[in-house]
Amino acid sequence: MNAPAVEPILETRDLSVDFGGLKALDGLDMAVYPGEIVSVIGPNGAGKTTLFNAITATVAASEGDIRFEGESLIGLDPNRVTSRGIARTFQNVRLFANMTVLENVMVSQHCRTRQSVFGALLYTKAFRDEEAEITERGKEVLSFFGHRLVGYRFDQPAYTLSYANRRRLEIARAMATQPKLILLDEPVAGMNPTESAELTGLIGRLRDEWGFAIVVIEHDMEVVREVSDRVVVLDHGVKIAEGDYADVSTDPQVIEAYLGHGASA
Amino acid sequence: MSLAAPSDPAPPPRPASEPAPETGPSVGGSDDDAPPRPPFAQDWRRIARMGAIGAVGQIFISLSNMPVKLDGRAIIEGVLSLGYLSLVVLPLAAGSRVGHQLRREGVPFHRPGAHEVVGGAACGALVGGGLSLLAILIANFNLREPLVNWSPILADLLAFNRGTAFAVVIWLAIGAAVGAAAGLLRVVPPLARRVLWTMVLTLFGAAVLESLTTDLAEGMGIEALIDWFYAPRGGLTITGAIALAAGSGVLALVGRGRIKGAKARIDALEGPARNRAQGGLILATAAVLVILPMFAGKLTNELLANVGLFVLLALGLNIVVGLAGILDLGYVAFFAVGSYSAAVLTAATSPRINPELPWFVALIGVVILTGLVGLFIGAPVIRMRGDYLAIVTLGFGEIIRLLFLSDWLSGWFGGSQGITNIPGAEIFGLAEVAGTDPRSVFYLVLAFCAIAIYVSWRLERSRIGRAWMAVREDETVAEAMGINTVNVKLLAFVVGAVLGSFSGAIFSAKVGSVFPASFLILVSIVILVVVIFGGMGNIVGVIAGSAVLIGVLGGPKQPGLLAEFSEFKLLIYGALLVWMMLARPEGLIPSVRRTRELHQEELAQDAWLRGQTEDDHLENGEGRS
């Protein structure tokens, strides 16, 4: 691990998640540094999505600690985790399907806005300014994806979008929460090669232009090789390898996890 | 069927020049090319099923004594009463339903013709046969023993006072005729259908609104005209009915497409022009609502005030259910807390504390108290989801009522005696609003409805409204996107509670007394039905729902325009609700969003059929791994 001298932005220490005796995560230690793209890979059921759920407090960690910017996230509600600066996408796209594209990215700025009922009722200047601001920022994150989500699309309900655009909108919605760290759960799943190549480029730009640290769960090894600074391999809730793509992909333990015993020979 | 008679050459004439203005694109070329079906090639099983359902329903309606009770209310003097109308409703519905064909794009369907009329007649005759059967049963057996509700007058009503044999024949005939007429409606060109429907609805509407129109006419001093339309003992006169039918028919002919055109033009407007058009419409409505009561008498204003109270309640519940998606079955609790707190704060007769505050000052206390109760009830309830939440709210609704009823708190709220002699609301020394002057009550309600509408409208377009929608769509994701779902839902609960308490405070000033019995669970259910029926999530829909349900049928204890319905109100509420859920789940005047939610797949499919789906499938090739 080429750990630089800076503090990790996200760190899990001895993180375990139990589901009634089944250990979905077992004593996981990992760290993500600012401006880094880390891929988490592993066979099905390895605990990848559980890791995301534990970080975002959707499931409770049974042991260990998760620290974000040096502070523990344990015991926080999911919305507090988001307002600390962690945003995520979902493996099975979960947009607010009947809200418009623009409303989707406006509503996710909820924790960055402060206007109360009274502001809305009195239609104060502060309220109008805030509305204008979140509309502006919403349009800004949508324009990150080129022409696909802008213009007349702003006012279309999200369910009218194509599958690939829904995935893009999910990323836009995560970006709009103004995070420092984005967790992408299989961002290119179900996309065709052209689309996933394009999105791979976008993940790089997310880091370079927006300065997010990114953790990606991905099965598509092309994408993993392309984007990752570092790869963490999970199997049965345990980290079995970590390093750059070249090291990890030749690691006998990893090959064994994916292909079974004897395959590494 | 082997009886199929393809020789029937004369389907009712259909002017080829009329390209069906209202049925839109679904009546494409395939419709006109397709031959009409032979009249006897019917799906007899479907007719039998529909007819049997209709017959059972019609017998049920008869035995519930509805026809006898409603016979007192004339629609057209000497020709048709509401009672007889209730006897032909189901043949009409069944006859129309049998002629309904599922139309799918790309699948050829036959052109409407004699087939529909024969089917309708057969089905209608079956339903009418149900009544014939009932007449025979009544004549030969003592049905009073097990079925106590109906009165013996029913037999005379069914037989037109001419004996059982006549009843048997006539109801078969009436059923067949009504069913055939319903089938015929599917055959005639759309224009004729539209004119006919307009005429029928105008007549029915005029008859239903009788007390309202006479009252207004008296206020405006044009009784003479009204006396010409309405018979002295209720119902339209025959001449009046003919004049109305003719007038509305001509209007329908002349005005065809105009209203739709105007609406389309308003919809097409954008930006400030559209805002101006909408503003004008709102102003015009407001003006009518302010001016109308000046001409109206006590009864009409009483009715309007009752409708207004329910509009206020429904708008409050709409925020909770329609926007935030929290199914609250105990909403009456806030109505009760609003009423009682206003009563305690204003009445001199309140048992424990009686500060005798002026109404408007007391209102501040009412809002604070109801807000607190909303928080108190909401805090545990909000943590639940779905069915559990609904059940718990149901429980809390009852708990609040029982607390007001209990001996434990009777020192505060008077137990079952309630609090009486509540003074009216004094408006800054300008006017006194009390039940004796329903007009002033209506104006007060109107003012608060305007506030509630403004609140709903503003909040829906704010970060809070969007958060409510997100919570309704997917609570887990909403939370992961940084929304504090507990706070946001609690806020919806409290805002809804406060709006409901306004209604309660006005109610106690209007009625002058509050009793626990005014706040039965039934009130919650009626408000919920109003919201669902009108169109959840839509302000205009909610108002329309109150106007139709409360105004025409009546509220839990308030009579509506059709006071004869009061006994059958709940039956009709239930039937309307079931029909609404089947035929138009988005409600009378739906919100765009709700419609989308309920018809998402259909809409997506339509879009796909029109080839208007995403372009980037094509850009990138269709293949996916």
E strands of B213-345, at which residues? none
Task: Provide CB contacts within 8 A for B163, sequence distance 6+.
Answer: none
Separation in Å, CA of B450 to nearest CA in chain A? 13
ipTM here: 0.92
Interchain pair A159, B596: CB under 8 A: yes
pLDDT of residue B610: 61
Bridge-based pairing of strands A230-235 and A37-41 is: parallel
> Hey, are the CB atoms on A159 and B455 less than 8 Å from each other?
no
Search chain A and give the residue with CA nearest B614: A162
Could you give the CA distance from residue A233 to residue A248 in angstroms, rounded to a whole number? 8
Among A12, A118, A239, CA closest to A231: A239
Which segments within B370-502 are labelled E, that is strand?
425-427, 431-433
Of the residues A96, A159, A181, A220, the best mutation for testing chain B's interface (the one with the most B CB atoms within 10 Å of its CB) is A96
CB B84 within 8 A of CB B71: yes
Name the helix (H) or strand (E) containing A86.
Answer: strand A86-88
Nearest chain A residue (CA) to B468: A107
What are the extents of the domains in chain B?
Answer: 32-187, 299-522
Q: Are B367 and B349 within 8 A, CB to CB? A: no
Contacts of residue A173 in chain B, CB cutoff 8 Å?
481
Residue A58 belongs to a domain: yes
CA-to-CA dists, residue B457 to A112, B451, B559, angstroms:
23, 10, 30
CB contact under 8 A, A79 and B624: no
Question: Would you call B600 and A97 a contact, using CB atoms and an 8 Å cutoff?
Answer: yes
Q: Kindly report the nearest CA distance between residue B269 and chain A, in angstroms.
A: 16
> A-B interface: how many C-beta pairs under 8 angstroms?
134
CB contact under 8 A, B480 and A173: no
Q: Of the candidates B51, B52, B283, B287, which has an alpha carbon nearest to the alpha carbon of residue B182?
A: B51
Residue B193: HSE in the Cβ half-sphere, 13 Å Cα cutoff: 17
Tens of pLDDT along B433-471? 777 888 889 999 999 999 999 999 999 999 999 999 999
Which chain B residue's Cα is nearest to A147? Answer: B616
Q: pTM score, two decimals? A: 0.85
Min distance B64 CA to chain A CA atoms (Å)? 43
pLDDT in tens, B593-620: 767 767 766 666 666 666 544 444 444 4
Give A255→chain B minimum CA distance, Å. 23
Q: Which two tokens stand for residue B130?
A: 């149900």
User: Residue A232 belongs to a domain with what CATH number?
Assistant: 3.40.50.300
Q: What is the pLDDT of residues B527-581, one digit of tens each?
A: 999 999 998 888 999 999 999 899 888 888 888 888 888 888 888 889 889 988 8
Strands (E), B284-395: none
What gap in Å lies between CA B183 and CA A47, rounded to an integer? 63
**Residue pair B91/B179 in contact by the 8 Å Cβ criterion:** yes
Residue of B368, B318, B365, B332 lying closest to B514 (CA atoms): B332
Question: Residue B221: left if φ>0, alpha if ψ -120 to 50, beta else—which one?
Answer: left
Q: Chain B: nearest CA to A104, how far in angstroms?
A: 8
Nearest residue of B to residue A197, measured between CA atoms: B620
Integer Cα distance of B345 and B501 in angstroms: 14
Q: Per the domain annotation, does A206 fall within a domain?
A: yes
Q: How far is B466 from chain A (nearest CA, A)?
A: 6
What residue of B is the nearest CA neighbor of A118? B459
Of A99, A110, A194, the CB nearest to B620: A194
Most B CBs within 10 Å: which of A100, A103, A114, A160, as the mutation test of the B interface? A160
Q: Name the amino acid, one letter, at B493.
A: F
Question: Is A96–B469 a contact, with Cβ atoms under 8 angstroms apart?
Answer: yes
B344 vs B338: CA distance, rounded Å: 10
Residue A212 in any domain: the answer is: yes
State which residues of chain A have pLDDT below 70.
1-5, 261-265
- According to DSSP, the residues that pair with B230 across neighbouring strands are B236
Full 3-state SS string of B462-489: CHHHHHHHHHHHCHHHHHHCCCCHHHHH
Flag if B463 and A120 touch (Cβ within 8 Å): yes
* Cβ pair B481:A148 closer than 8 A: no
Q: Output b/e per residue, B427-465; b: 16+ Cβ within 10 A.
A: beeeeebbbebbbbbbbbbbebbeebbebbebbbebbbb
- What DSSP designation does A90 have? -
Nearest residue to B12 (alpha-carbon basis) of B118, B91, B89: B118
Q: Which residues of chain B have pLDDT under 50?
A: 1-31, 612-625
Note whether B99 and B136 are within 8 A (CB).
no
A235: containing domain: 10-259
Q: A-chain residues within 8 Å CB-CB of B491?
A: 117
Cβ neighbourhood burial of B396 (10 Å; 0-12, 13-18, 19+): buried
State residue B20's pLDDT score. 41
Q: What is the DSSP pairing of strand B74-76 with strand B80-81?
A: antiparallel
Question: Chain B: nearest CA to A99, how far in angstroms?
Answer: 8
Number of domains, chain A:
1
